[in-house]
Structure 1
Amino acid sequence: MESRAVTPRVIVTDAVGVVAGRWLMDAIEAVTTARGRCRLAIPGGTAPVPVFEWLAEHLPRSLVERLVVTWVDERHLPLPASTSDWRALPDDGNLRLAWAHWFSRAAVVPTLVSMARPEALAQAARRCSEDFAVQLDGRLDVVLLGAGPDGHIASLFPGHPALERTAAAEPCVAVPDSPKPPPQRLSLTLPVLEAVEHALLVASGEAKAAMLRRAYAGDDSIPLGRYRPRGAWTWVLDPAAAAALPSTCYEQGSQSEET
């Protein structure tokens, strides 16, 4: 398959949660207007927390009721016997993170397709692939991404075999040896994450600056630099994360967005 050159639109703002939240709300509304529902995948980590908190407060009920949320990846951790109370979920899990900063604060919870599974890792990956095919009809509409200082997205790390997984029948891949703890993880594959109409990256902090410069230049040695979404591709960064990018390649978030 021929590689596509995709240059992201870059927005730099001190209000990452507000700007990214509004971007996501607009994307969700566009998809639900066209298709009746929207399939969104979200990440873990600290970067999306301000976005989750903005969505909890501002995403209209009319959109939440037509929103299906899954995850770009999940840490494969022991689960409690009952997951009816989100506070019992593993502290390091991406599912708990989203509950703590979005779902528990919102008046309405979207439909969730969790990747947190009690089975052994390989079986959990198969079950997640089955759930993806049945509950999400095998594709996403919108994806929210974070990225590590090494350029990994989801749990697809530089040089790791999981990054090369392309089988359409297996949208979820087991990662038994993540270079970043915890070692066992589940991740959507790169082709699944790329086959979206709307893709958004959020990043904050100077530790990301050098990596973002490489990724913007299309450095295929890092997963973010290799990422080629099918549709609109936007980055929302704080000034520290954008520090190594030429100022000519980005736009500033407006004052109205930061209030």
Structure 2
Amino acid sequence: MTIRTVVWGENIHEQTNAVVRGIYPDGMHSTIAAALNAGDGIEATTATLQEPEHGLSVERLAGTDVLVWWGHKDHGAVADEVVERVARRVFEGMGLIVLHSGHFSKPFKRLMGTPCALKWREAGERERIWTVNPGHPIAAGLPESFVLENEEMYGEFFSVPEPLETVFISWFAGGEVFRSGLTWRRGAGNIFYFRPGHETYPTYQDANVQTVIRNAVKWAYNPMPAHIGVHDAPNVPVEQALEPITERGPKLHQSGEEGYK
């Protein structure tokens, strides 16, 4: 079994900011993909905002088991057609891992249906990430807590839907806390949000962070065939009812006619 994974990167700051370029000369997306490819069972490729269709054509997504998303500076540049394409694949069973400032990305907000807002501070603070669900597959091989010496602070309230599971909680030197590892399911697709990853710090070179993302990809993978029927809303004729029934009363639609959507 190989999990076909696409790591999507906005790829703007790597081109325009010397600090970011110095840390990630080949882009954050390439660093994340290399970490995923270093383990067993994952085949990671990359896509960026600048590519045609942002590298996420219908065909590319159809062959993607898990999509990893990082964006920050220009969420609005992502075409709505591609956003709907991503959401459709998640409903069908593709896993989605959203990293750091991807909380404001169009696909994440589309799937959450909420503002996805939070408090933040860019001060290079120490972040301690606590594993609060040690039995969860995403936490496999991780210590009780681990530290990132420099990170951007994210603080509560995080306006997302109540998660299925909380795997990590972060504490920052300034005193704030944040639910930094959360899971949801939308349709047949598993979604995981992981907080760390500000571009001016080498967060994605950290071994524990790489372990989290690798575990998350394996957790999010759905081995079942794409559940394309999730989009259907068929009008079932009376004669196809599982039990015999007699049609009675007025109706808006004729047999087999599509309903209102």
TM-score (norm. length: structure 2): 0.32
Quick check: which has more Rg, 1 or 2?
2
TM-score (norm. length: structure 1): 0.32
Larger relative CO (CA 8 A, sep 6+): 1 or 2? 1
Greater fraction of residues in helix? 1
